[in-house]
Amino acid sequence: MKIGVPAETRAGERLVAASPASVAQLIKLGYEVVIEAGAGTSASFLDAQYEEAGATLVDAATAWGADIVTCVNAPKPAQIKLLREGATLVATMAPHSNERLVASLAKRGVTALALDAVPRISRAQAIDVLSTMSNVAGYRAVIEAAENYGGMFTGQVTAAGKTKPATVFIIGAGVAGLAAIGAASSLGAQVRAFDVRPEVAEQIESMGGTFVDAPEAQQEISADGYAKPLTAEQQAAAMAVYAKEAANADVVITTALVRGTAPTTITADVVAGMRPGSVIVDLAASGGGNCALTVPGKTVLSDNGVTIVGYTDLTSRMPRHTSTLFGTNIVHLMALLTPGKDGAMVLDLEDQVQRGMTVAHAGEVMWPPPPVSVSAAPAPVAAQGPTEEELAEKARLEQEVALATARRRNWLYGAGAVAALLLLALSDQDTVKHLTVFALAVIVGFYVISNVKHSLHTPLMAQTNAISGIILVGALLQIGSEDAIVSTLSFIAAAVASINIFGGFLVTYRMLGMFRKDA
């Protein structure tokens, strides 16, 4: 089958649905890839790079006439007419608010897969274009904020004085919010973030932010992955949090966008309470904006000097990386739709991921899809505890094993003591002295080493190396003895002491290397 990648025609759009790298991966799946000439130029992908990856350059009509067409934005009516009956379209379509488009595609007999309708479950994360776009937008929001803010994000201490770090307040800790938290933190700002879902506190802190805890303004997560609607009391408490934090912030980034709708989180009064020179970056401008003063697509200045950035093309302002990630999402989707890796797409409507993003098929409108729960895992069954009789029997068996072990240990100790007494009784006076010294050395050494803290074991090696050196010298003096037993013991002592010395010096060398700062 043939995959077509046409150029985007929306005004100002710089993205493309495939990068040269993703084209090569699609070809490995068995597909033939055709791409409209010049489609990737705005994303810094040259036609020659696509040809090198194995794609064929074609005109717009040929790209739209392929078996499978993938693009970033929804097609216009003129482009829908170029789609052949039975073709598959893979694009973002906003099916929840674009019923006319879905109906047109169904009437055309096109199988339409909406990339922005991927179910929010773990298995579908690799093809979740919304997460890809949100991640880029969150990062770019910080760049736009830094551009419009009249100071540095990080604090500075110089001979001329010091500057305080910027305070950044982020509303929402979804993919975009977390990306913004990470970017702002890496620039040295003091980042505070709030989300109505309390379970994201750990994620916020892991990205370098401080979670604004306001239990009276928070709600639990719902079955579709979004936060449940707030009650009137919770909404009022949340608005109070927004007002307080925004008044103390230099930069505010809003990210609340649910199914294309942007709730108001920053009112005109909140903007009026912010400091002159502050910046608001509204990531929900495409849905009307979280800020009451946002003008989608533009940057405006409030009466009190607050800059409000309402760009709707943040992802297009980073076209190279966004297109690369978008193309990777397409590759993961086509890998799911091509189980045989033979270039033949197979749509399985029994698969909840494929069904969830299928909005038109075989002349029928398939939107909305059946609901999908966040987790299909069954609830864990509580393990039944043991009965009192079983616990008593277990305790009895454990006691018997302990008694048997103690008896066996006592017998071994007794046998060892008898053997030691016999050895002493049958040995001459010099041997008895040596054995006594050996026994005392073992006892003293055991208690000395066992009572040393683990953190001191490495420094202790310097002392043990010295002792091992003495042992090595003594062993070398005795290794030539005429007595075979003395000579054998001397050889063993020399070998063990040498291993201990070299090993000790190696560990000490590595430890010292940890504190050495290379020039």
Decide if 36 contacts 60 (C-beta within 8 A): yes
Q: Which residue has the higher pLDDT, 409 or 90?
A: 90
Decide if 166 contacts 208 (C-beta within 8 A): no
Cα dist from 3 to 32, 139, 456, whole Å: 6, 31, 65
Confidence (pLDDT) at 375: 47
Confidence (pLDDT) at 460: 53
Confidence (pLDDT) at 24: 97
Mean pLDDT in residue range 163-188: 96
Decide if 66 contacts 26 (C-beta within 8 A): no
Residue 64 has pLDDT above 60, yes or no: yes
pLDDT tens readout for residues 311-322? 999 999 999 999
Confidence (pLDDT) at 451: 64
Residue 458 has pLDDT above 60, yes or no: no
Give the count of beta carbons closer than 10 Å to the beta carbon of residue 121: 18
Confidence (pLDDT) at 157: 84
Residue 13 has pLDDT above 90, yes or no: yes
Q: Give the C-alpha separation, 139 to 513, whole Å.
A: 38
Amino acid, single-letter form, for residue 321:
H
Confidence (pLDDT) at 244: 96
Confidence (pLDDT) at 479: 80
Residue linked to tokens 């053997």 = 419
- What tokens appear for 311 in the block? 């760009």
Q: How confident is the model at residue 392 (pLDDT cuts 50, 70, 90)?
A: confident
Confidence (pLDDT) at 519: 43
Instruction: Give the side-chain half-sphere CA count within 13 A for 32.
Output: 10
Confidence (pLDDT) at 260: 75
Spatial neighbors of 299 by CB under 8 A, at least 6 apart, are: 148, 307, 308, 309, 310, 311
- What does the mean pLDDT of the chain come to? 88
Catalytic residue numbers read 120, 125, 128, 131, 226
**Strands of 317-419, DSSP E:** 358-361, 364-365
Residue 464 has pLDDT above 80, yes or no: no
pLDDT tens readout for residues 92-149? 999 988 999 999 999 999 999 999 999 988 889 999 999 999 999 999 999 999 999 9
Length of the chain: 519
Per DSSP, the residues of 66-134 read: SSEEE-SSPPPHHHHTTSPTT-EEEE---TTT-HHHHHHHHHTT-EEEEGGG--SSGGGGGG-HHHHHH
Q: Give the C-alpha separation, 277 to 200, whole Å.
A: 30
In percent, the amount of the chain with pLDDT more than 70 equals 90
Q: Give the C-alpha separation, 263 to 266, whole Å.
A: 9
In percent, the amount of the chain with pLDDT more than 90 equals 61
pLDDT tens readout for residues 333-385? 999 999 999 999 999 999 999 999 999 999 999 999 998 755 444 444 444 55
Confidence (pLDDT) at 450: 64
Residue 36 has pLDDT above 60, yes or no: yes
Q: In b/e form, how buried is each residue of 484-515, taking b as 16+ CB within 10 angstroms?
A: eeeeeebeebbeebeebbeebeeeeeeeeeee
Confidence (pLDDT) at 180: 97
Spatial neighbors of 292 by CB under 8 A, at least 6 apart, are: 264, 266, 267, 268, 271
Mean pLDDT in residue range 258-272: 91
Amino acid, single-letter form, for residue 238:
A
Residue 443 has pLDDT above 80, yes or no: no
Q: Which residue has the higher pLDDT, 417 or 266?
A: 266
Q: How confident is the model at residue 22 (pLDDT cuts 50, 70, 90)?
A: very high
Confidence (pLDDT) at 156: 87
Coil, helix or strand for 252? strand
Confidence (pLDDT) at 51: 97
Confidence (pLDDT) at 476: 83
Q: How confident is the model at residue 449 (pLDDT cuts 50, 70, 90)?
A: low
Mean pLDDT in residue range 171-192: 96
**No. of H helices and E strands in the chain?**
16, 17
Q: How confident is the model at residue 510 (pLDDT cuts 50, 70, 90)?
A: confident
Mean pLDDT in residue range 293-316: 96
pTM above 0.95, yes or no: no
